[in-house]
Homo-oligomer: A and B are copies of this chain.
Amino acid sequence: MEYEQLKLSNQVCFPIYAASRLITRAYQPLLEKLDLTYPQYLVLMVLWENDRVSVNEITHKLILNTNTVTPLLKRMEVQGLITRKRSEKDERSMVISLTKKGLNLQEQAAEIPMQLAGKLDVDDLSIDEIIDLRDKLNHLIQAIKN
């Protein structure tokens, strides 16, 4: 019995899953120099755009759950990248802020997107194709969320 829909080559989900891991692998040597993991880098990107946010805002922006983000932030606190303080307005809420060290990393991190692009074979992939890919993925994300 043949089930065409069960072939790996016919899947959309598998390439997304594989691409996600390949990208994390590609980032890894670049982020290692800053002593960061990819999820930690994402948290910093959120904070560089908007410092002093709640755990809740971070989970929403990164589409992660608290049980992932809380330990992640605790590790980042130990590394001296961020601080965690209870909000005075709402004692339930945690305010996450950049330390000087976390803020200063931004300058070095700014080099990373270009360095990563260098890892892609330009013959295989154009800028237009990447932008189209990004937009279609955002469509897919919306379609799953709905």
Contacts and interface: CB of A to CB of B under 8 A. Distances in A.
Interface of A: 1, 3, 5-8, 11-24, 26-27, 38, 42, 45-46, 48-49, 61-64, 106-107, 109-110, 113-114, 116, 119-121, 124-125, 129-134, 136-146
Nearest to A145: B22
A136 to B, nearest CB: 5
B16 A110 contact: no
Q: How many copies of this chain does the complex contain?
A: 2
A37 to B, nearest CB: 12
23 contacts: A1-B107, A5-B113, A6-B106, A7-B49, A8-B46, A8-B49, A8-B61, A11-B113, A12-B130, A12-B131, A13-B116, A18-B141, A19-B137, A20-B21, A22-B145, A26-B144, A120-B144, A121-B146, A124-B139, A124-B142, A125-B139, A129-B136, A136-B136
B20 A42 contact: no
Nearest to A12: B134
Contacts of A6: 45, 48-49, 106, 109-110, 113
Contact of A136 (B61, B64, B133, B142): B133
Most B CB contacts (10 A, CB to CB) among A12, A116, A145, A146 go to A12
